[in-house]
Structure 1
Amino acid sequence: MTKRALIIGVSGQDGAYLSHLLLHKGYEIHGTSRDIERADLSRLDQLGVRDSIRLHSANLIEYRSILEVLRATEPDEIYNLSAQSSVALSFEQPIETLNSIVTATLQLLEAIRLVGGKPRLYNSSSSEMYGSTEGGGRANEDMPFRPRSPYGVSKAAAHWLVESYRKSYGIYACSGILFNHESPLRPERFVTRKIVRSAVDIARGGKRRLRLGNLDVVRDWGWAPDYVDGMWRMLQQDTARDFVLATGEPFSLREFTEAAFAQLDLDWERYVDFDSQLLRPYDVQCTVGDPSRANTELRWCATTKGSQLLRKLVKAEIARCEAAERNEGQSIESLF
């Protein structure tokens, strides 16, 4: 029988790539956004999947809203990808961040408990829950959480709610602890897209300067389509369990910037300025993941990282600029 998936937050980067993956696996896809009539569905358009998804409005802050969509769709699998997703923005909007993550996750868990039918739930956790892994090696599923941002605190609280409901009520619910995963679908407020966009603009004779904050931070950057495959694999296991998804390779923001500009034969130091206003109040210096459990139990590994990741991001940004000049929409399905 055809499986039915409900993707909560279908219009974001991960929701779009997950839709693409599940459609190719033969799923019937239902997707939600807070107000589907006003949602930005351009990412679904870029992957050519919008017309294949049944779209619904659902606000996880409102219990009745999520209960109604669960009853209407009767999903076999639920992917909770909806929330405020910017660490930097969480310092400016901590209350909204907490509500969009913690309250929303609790409402969803309660709705699942009430409707029955035993749908399987994937919850999106974050590497930000660990805080800095500097000096402590790569973070695995057993490392304690020490979050340093309202976003990280909120994700940690939601993570423990999922575990509590799994153990207390027998719900099949698991969390993917995802480290940074990038793609051409990232909004421009994310630093990776900002760097790649600026490098391409400079190479094409446009913008001449790029302002960045702490270049010494170290992250574990992967390719978003790899990570949604990991999400799906988690829900195919006999027993619900949490997994870290990461490349396992450290990459500083300085190295990322240098590599992005090098793809375009540019010396990044000629174009980048330090801006203290871009420093976070309480930054995570280093965060790198250990995907050993996922490698072994899910047969999952990150296939695109480092210079290969940068090549894809730069290629997509160039294509986006060229399409804009022609006043055309840009499809990025060819990048898979």
Structure 2
Amino acid sequence: MTVALITGVTGQDGSYLAERLVAEGVTVHGMVRPGDESAVPTGVHPHAGDLGDREGLRRLVLDLAPTELYHLAGISSVAQSWQEPELTALLSGVAVTTLLDAAWQVQQAHGVTVRLVQASSAEIFGDAATAPQDERTPIAPVNPYGAAKAYAQHMVGIYRDRGLHASAGILFNHESPRRPPTFVTRKITQRAAQIARDGDGMLTLGNLDVRRDWGWAPDYVDALIRLARHEEPIDAVVATGQTHTVRDFAVTALRHAGVTDPESRLATDPAFVRPADAGLMVGDATRARSVLGWTPTRDFTAVVAAMVDHDLELLG
């Protein structure tokens, strides 16, 4: 019987992942912040916990003895990591080592394979000298979020060499209507819907020329499951291979919402520009496609449209 533990189960990726696994008949446990137990998806067994509580985290894994462990929790954005760099190192870096070691202990104690998947990030590559980026691209982060994820990435490799089925999905940007409003993409779609409803207003952002490789979140969750179930543990870039600027995202959202002359609705504010931002981030998902059989199901326009439609519906 497959028993899965998901950290970050109430987040965008965690909720989609939990729904998939529950539908498969997997026994799913989810770690949540204390007080958020009622927010877990239907069919998930909630467990209150804190990534900063290393002993509590270890106990949870040892008690549940999961056969699949998906680690999605941690500081959720680059912007937040600049505000809380030390906390980012602890929750998105050190906590991964605790989970890896606990999973290895379960494997040693029970004699069963424990498959751990770390949700890594394209931010580990920083301002890469070459594009697109793949699994061989040098790890050189330029922000606290990327640095914490880079540490975790190295630890996954170390425990894989030790004999744990540890894999990392190096996820490029992926979105959905479940993306929190703290992310620029959801900020864009919410504001686009509001401008369309009111017939007036501006969408104010930071650097409009930053390019990103944006995909559909449920597709990236599918890749994580494929990594867990693959015969051999591997790391794999998960990306669309297509890039668009923040300006493209905003114009596409405004246009889909029905706003005429969307370019005239854009404004910039230096306060929204990050201290350091990675350059051209675009992924080469050849390994995910050829080895895992993964392929994206929605293109950029469809992703933006789904988010805008959701926010228009919320506004009535």
Shift of 1:206: 7.0
On the 8 A contact 2:131/2:281 being kept in 1, the answer is no
TM-score with structure 2 length normalisation? 0.94
- Give 1:308's match in structure 2, choosing from 286, 302, 310: 302
Q: Following the alignment from structure 2 to structure 1, what is the Cα–Cα distance between the partners of residues 305 and 104?
A: 45
- Tell whether 2:227 aligns with 1:234: yes
User: Does the alignment pair 1:152 with 2:146?
Assistant: yes
Following TM superposition, by how much is the alpha carbon of 1:120 offset from its aligned partner in structure 2, in angstroms? Answer: 0.7
For residues 180 and 12 of structure 2, the distance between their equivalents in structure 1, rounded to whole angstroms, comes to 8
Of 197-206 and 109-118, more deviation after overlay is shown by: 109-118
Further displaced range: 201-210 or 8-17: 201-210
CA distance in 2, matches of 1:237, 1:130: 24
Q: CA deviation at 1:100?
A: 0.5
Following superposition, the deviation at residue 310 of structure 1 comes to 1.5
Query: What residue is the counterpart of 1:186 in the other structure?
Result: 179
Check the 8 A contact 2:93/2:148 in 1, yes or no.
yes
| Distance change >3 Å, CA 142–CA 210, structure 1 → 2 | same
Partner of 1:254: 247
Structure 2 CA distance for partners of 1:207 and 1:99, relative to 1, 3 Å: farther
User: Deviation of residue 40 (structure 1)?
Assistant: 7.6
1:148 counterpart letter in structure 2: V
Task: Tell me whether 1:54 sits opposite 2:49 in the alignment.
Answer: no
Q: Tell me the equivalent position of 1:78.
A: 69
| Residue of structure 1 in register with 2:30 after alignment | 31
CA deviation map 1:247-277 (0-9, x unaligned): 0001111111111111123222222211011
Confirm or deny that 1:177 pairs with 2:170: yes
Residue type of the partner of 2:72?
Answer: L
Q: Structure 2 matches for 1:60-71, cutoff 5 A?
A: 60-71=51-62
TM-superposed deviation, 1:113: 2.4
CA-based RMSD of the aligned residues comes to 1.5
Match for residue 275 of structure 2? 281
Aligned AA for 1:247? Answer: T
Whether the 8 Å contact between 2:189 and 2:311 is mirrored in structure 1 is: yes
Task: Give the percent of matched residue pairs that are identical in Structure 1 and Structure 2.
Answer: 38
- How far is the alpha carbon of 1:285 from its aligned partner? 2.4
SS in 2 for 1:311: helix
Q: Which moved more, 1:206-215 or 1:90-99?
A: 206-215
* Residues 63, 111 of structure 1: 8 Å contact kept: no
Selected match of 1:132 from 118, 127, 131: 127
Whether 1:244 aligns to 2:237 is yes
Query: What's 2:311 paired with?
Result: 317
**What is the alpha-carbon distance in structure 2 between the residues aligned to residue 38 and residue 244 of structure 1?**
31
Deviation (angstroms), 1:306: 1.5
Deviations 1:112-142 (A, max 9, x none): 2223333110001100111134x62210001
3-state SS of 1:200 partner: helix
CA contact (8 A) 1:223 1:302 kept: yes
Residue aligned with 2:178, SS: coil
Tell me what 2:83 maps to: 92
* Counterpart AA for 2:56: S
The verdict on how the C-alpha distance between 1:236 and 1:273 changes in structure 2, with shifts beyond 3 A counting, is same
For residues 311 and 280 of structure 1, the distance between their equivalents in structure 2, rounded to whole angstroms, comes to 26
Q: Which residue of 2 aligns with 1:214?
A: 207
Query: Could you state the TM-score of these two structures normalised by the residue count of structure 1?
Result: 0.89
Asked whether the equivalents of residues 237 and 287 of structure 2 are also in contact (C-alpha less than 8 Å), the reply is: yes
Once the two structures are TM-superposed, the CA of residue 58 in structure 1 deviates from its matched residue by 2.2
Structure 2: distance between partners of 1:186 and 1:160: 27
Do the aligned residues in 2 keep the contact of 1:214 with 1:279 (CA within 8 Å)?
A: yes
1:198 aligns with 2:191: yes
The Cα of 1:39 is off from its aligned counterpart by: 5.8
Q: Is the 8 A contact 1:61 1:107 kept in 2?
A: no
2:117 aligned to which of 119, 122, 127: 122
Q: Which runs of 5+ in 1 are unaligned?
A: 45-49, 323-336
Where 1:235 maps in the other structure, the secondary structure is helix
Contact 1:196 1:317 in 2 (8 A): yes
Contact 1:60 1:107 in 2 (8 A): no
Using the TM superposition, give the Cα deviation of residue 63 of structure 1 relative to its aligned residue in structure 2, in angstroms. 2.6
Aligned-partner residue type, residue 208 of structure 1: G
Q: 1:192 is matched by which residue type in structure 2?
A: T
**What is the DSSP-based 3-state SS (H/G/I as helix, E as strand, rest coil) of the residue aligned with 1:5?**
strand
